[in-house]
Amino acid sequence: MGSGARGAADGVLVVDKPPGMTSHDVVDEVRRRFRTRKVGHAGTLDPDATGVLVCGLGKATRLLSYAQGVPKRYLAHAVFGVTTSTQDASGRVIDERPVVASEHDVAALLPAFTGAVLQTPPMVSAVRHEGERLHVKARRGEEVERTARQIHIHTLRLVEWRPGERPEATLDVTCSAGTYVRTVVHDLGARLGCGAHLGALRRTEAGGFTLADSVPLDRVDAGHLRPLVEAVRGLRRVEVDDAGRAMVAHGRPLPLPEADQGAIESGDEPVAVVCGGDLLGVYRRRSDVLVAERVIPE
């Protein structure tokens, strides 16, 4: 890995997470490299998964929830005919069936999985049940009833099909935060009647960043730290002048720019308030003004 990084840093790192590490392992390595404890990430990747992991340092840790809320994109490798206990390749095989489904059958079924979808979280997930994470219960061999949650699959495309006794497919998935791609694959296999599991997963977009923006973990250094404003790259921006900067510094409401009145919906959409490239805070619309939700200390 490159030379040591400075401490007390504020900003964003876009890491290409390697396989075999938890997202927390990546955070620990970034803490070590930058000599700071204040590091977090915007959306967990399973240990076997790779790809875009957005990390925030210093003040950026308070903004990671906004990066996490932006839709994410994945390349998912699906294996048909085999169902596993974890819905991915790390679990034990619990069922095997012949596959009669064709490439056309799979492609034709994908539209039924797009839009607003109810999804039941897998047992091997970080969802809490009675104060304990499901994956902890799963390690003890327990299984509990889980409540289905609404997610949103924005796009789901078949980009490659490999026929055979156990056909394999690569799916391009864009989805809301909180979506379990392994469960999408599992449910797809169930609908086809042959079962399926997730063979591999690579996140290609998160927090407004793509793989082209990412850096392999073993090459990360201070030169890859992005400014604080990048933590909210996925949000709409509202530019203010020096007078607006002073108002934000005191947490005051801002008049809604006329150009944004038709674009920003009341209450639902956080917006990044910037001045000269500096992130000043995150606001939300209330009637015809913008009200402070989070102000960045100067």
One DSSP character per residue, the chain reads --SPPPSS--EEEEEEEPTT--HHHHHHHHHHHHT-S-EEESS---TT-EEEEEEEEGGGGGGHHHHHTS-EEEEEEEEESEEETTSBTTSPEEEE------HHHHHHHGGGGSEEEEEPPPSSSS-EETTEEHHHHHHTT-------EEEEEEEEEEEEEE-SSS-EEEEEEEE-TT--HHHHHHHHHHHHTS-EEEEEEEEEEETTEEGGG-EEGGG--GGGPBPGGGGGTTSEEEE--HHHHHHHHTT--EEPPGGGTTTSPTTT-EEEEEETTEEEEEEEEETTEEEEEEE---
Q: Name the catalytic one among 46, 88, 187, 213.
A: 46
Active site residue 16: no
CB atoms within 10 A of CB 287: 10
Active centre residues (catalytic): 46
